Amino acid sequence: MLIFIIFLLTSCGTDELATTRTSSGNFKTLSEKKKFLEKYVTFTRTYKKLEFNIIYQNNSSGLVPGPSDFNISIYANVPKNEINFWINGLTISSTPKELSWVNSIPNSNKIDLGSLKWYTKGAKFVAISNNQDVLYKNSSF
């Protein structure tokens, strides 16, 4: 019985991320977009432009908590001196065969997919253009 009570108390955290399906189109300012995005990513960046699509399923509650599922896609324009932050630890790769996720990001049609240099590690993809446009995708599914 004591173990059950401890389990209930520890599984009821209040700082958990909310399940969401949110596009940057829901926000008016760059500051609002950045603030929301940084709840769901493990990095902080500087943005000149920022668009995203976030799907996040919080699976930490319930009788058997499990890892959360996420699909985070970002289109941003960033300062030139911050490009290396995006690709640190990644390896150069060919263009991914499946790019339909790009269309889920607001205003992503402004980027020329053929002009990008791609990097990857596991399920994470980052693409960089000559004018500091960044495409980022990280997904658990």
- The one-digit pLDDT tens for each residue of the chain (141 residues) are 444 333 444 445 445 688 999 999 999 999 999 999 999 999 999 999 999 999 999 988 767 777 889 999 999 999 999 999 999 999 999 999 999 999 999 999 988 998 999 999 999 999 999 999 999 999 998
| CA torsion angle 18 20 26 28 (round to 10) | 30
* Domain carrying residue 113: 15-139
**Letter for the amino acid at 64?**
V
Evaluate whether 127 touches 117 at the Cβ level (below 8 Å): yes
Domain count for the chain: 1
Q: Is residue 32 part of a domain?
A: yes
In a domain, 36, yes or no: yes
HSE (side-chain half, CA atoms, 13 Å) at 9: 6
pTM for the full predicted model:
0.85
Residue 51 lies in a domain: yes
